[in-house]
Structures are given as C-alpha cells and as structure tokens.
Amino acid sequence: MLELRRVSKHYKVGSESPIRAVDDVSMTLSGGEVLALYGPSGSGKSTLIELIAGLKKPDDGSILIGGRDLLKMSRSQANDYRLNDLGIVMQPSSLQPGARAIASASIKLMAGGKRAARDRIEPLLVELGLGDRLRHRTEELSMGERQRVLIALALSRDPKLVLADEPTASLDTENTQQVFSLLRGMCVARRMALLLVTHDPAAAAYADRSYELRDGCLSERRFDDTPLGAS
Ligand SMILES: Nc1ncnc2c1ncn2[C@@H]1O[C@H](COP(=O)(O)OP(=O)(O)OP(=O)(O)O)[C@@H](O)[C@H]1O
Ligand SMILES: [Mg+2]
C-alpha cells in the first residue's frame, strides 16, 4: 500500500548546516498492517508524516501509494489521494469549538449532501462508542471522546492508508489503550494500513512492527527485552 524508497528531507535555515529531518528512509506498509513509529522530539516523525501526506516534497527518493508515485501525481490526483485514499487522525485541539460531534465527523462526506453524510457517519460513531454523544458539542465531549470523533473523521471515506501523529498525546492511560485498540481493530478489519506515530511504549502491543527514527534515520525497534516503561 505504502512504499518509501530512500526518502530524504533536509531543512536549511540561514547559513547553518542543513537539518537532516528525514534521512534516506525506506519502508513498506501493507493494507491491514499496523506500524508504530517512535522517536524523540525533533527526530523527524511529523516531517515523515507530512511527506507521506503530500504536504511536503522530499529532496530525494520516492513515495509510492498503491504503486503510484506521489511526486508524479498532478495537483488534482494529489487532492483526490488526500481526500479518498488517506485518512489523517488529527489532535483534539483541531476540533471546531461549538460544532456537534456528528457534524465534525462528517466534514469529509459533505459533498454528497448533509443528510447522506450523517447517515454514513452515524454507524461509525456508534462503533466508536459515541452513539449517545452524536449531538454533543466539542466542549461537551471528553478528550477521549473528541479523539474518537477525529478517528471517525479520518476513517469516514474508507481510506487505504491512515496516518496518526500522536493520537493519544492528550489522553490518560485508559483512553490511550482504548484509542490504540479501536484504531488497530478498525484498520485491520477494513484492511487499512495504519502508521501510528507515538511516544508511548504501550503502542507496540497494538502494532505488527515498531520502528524508531533518530536524527532522521529509521531502524527497527524491538521491545522483547525492554521492561515496560523503560524507554
Ligand atoms: N519547516 C521547517 N524548517 C526548518 N526546520 C524544520 C522545519 N520543520 C521541522 N524542522 C526541524 O526538523 C526536525 C524534525 O522535526 P519534526 O517536526 O519532524 O520532529 P518530530 O519527530 O515530529 O518531533 P516531536 O516529537 O517534537 O513532534 C527538527 O529538528 C525541527 O526543528
Ligand atoms: Mg511531531
């Protein structure tokens, strides 16, 4: 589903030597597979996500989505990719204040009409345990509930690839486990590929593989002999 071939992105600020935010990264991710991506602050995780989302262009390498080269797509093909093939799980702070949960979650479906959008999103919200929160406004939802609204939004058009950049950053342990579990369950069942960027070692239990970025370089990370919480 997703293949990165020797992708690099370097930032140049002033006359200082360039920051190697992403450095010669190669990886593959298949439908139904969950990959957890770890890394300290500034290691290039968000940059990598933005490259895959087509929001930034790499200096080197290629990014293939279902075999298609993202960098060779026309503007309209890239827009279509972002709307239909990609789901991005955003942070709770991005939810519009005052909006009802069902409206927030159905934004990506609105082109087909408000009624159809809501009919389509409701079962997904119910599946996410928000059946009795559909008409709650952003401020009336807990952080965990807000994050689940954003999962519904990300999955609403049945994307092939789901990107989540620290989806549990503002959640407590219980909600974190629930969000990891829901994301994994829903993506695997729908054969979506999930790339989960996180600082939380608990995510490894929900992933098929774990990788680590350090100074832009990717390596496989094993948790077998790491005591829980030690990393
Ligand atoms: N637009 C930019 N211009 C210059 N440098 C940038 C830019 N964006 C990011 N960087 C630098 O690139 C490096 C990687 O940043 P990135 O945001 O990808 O890290 P991250 O792993 O997501 O960190 P965090 O865990 O704090 O979110 C950092 O050193 C950052 O300062
Ligand atoms: Mg980041």
Ligand 1, atom 8, lies closest to the CA of 47
Looking from the CA of residue 12, the nearest atom of ligand 1 is 4
41 Cβ below 6 A of ligand 1 = yes
Domain residue ranges in the chain: 2-220
- Look up tokens 């599946």; give the residue: 127
- Residue 231: is its pLDDT beyond 60? no
What is the bridge-based pairing of β-strands 60-65 and 2-11? antiparallel
Ligand with smallest separation from the Cα of 40: 1
For the record, the structure tokens of 35 come out as 């990959």
The CA 109 to ligand 2 mean position distance, Å, reads 27
Q: Which fold has domain 2-220?
A: Rossmann fold (3.40.50)
The CA 198 to ligand 2 mean position distance, Å, reads 9
For residues 43 and 204, the answer to whether their CB atoms sit within 8 Å is no
| Spatial separation of the C-alpha atoms in residues 149 and 68, rounded to whole Å | 30
What is the bridge-based pairing of β-strands 209-214 and 217-220? antiparallel
37 Cβ below 6 A of ligand 1 = no
% the chain with pLDDT above 90: 88
Tell me the sheet residues that pair with 3: 28, 64
How confident is the model over 126-143, as pLDDT tens digits?
Answer: 999 999 999 999 999 999
Distances (CA, A) of 5 to 69, 143, 146: 11, 37, 35
Q: In what order do the strands lie in the sheet with 60-65?
A: 19-29, 2-11, 60-65, 68-69
Position 223 confidence tier, pLDDT thresholds 50, 70, 90? confident
For residues 23 and 45, the answer to whether their CB atoms sit within 8 Å is no
Average confidence (pLDDT) over 138-166: 96
46 Cβ below 6 A of ligand 1 = yes
The pLDDT value recorded for residue 170 is: 86
How many contiguous H segments (helices) and E segments (strands) does the chain have?
6, 10
The pLDDT value recorded for residue 230 is: 53
- Concatenate the DSSP letters of all residues of 79-101 into one string: HHIIIIIEEEE--GGGSPTT-BH
The pTM of the full predicted model, rounded to 2 decimals, is 0.93
The CA 46 to ligand 1 mean position distance, Å, reads 7
Ligand 1, atom 6, lies closest to the CA of 11
217 Cβ below 6 A of ligand 1 = no
How confident is the model over 1-40, as pLDDT tens digits?
Answer: 999 999 999 999 888 889 999 999 999 999 999 999 999 9
How confident is the model over 57-109, as pLDDT tens digits?
Answer: 999 999 999 999 999 999 999 999 999 999 999 999 999 999 999 999 999 99
Ligand with smallest separation from the Cα of 199: 1
What is the bridge-based pairing of β-strands 34-38 and 209-214? parallel
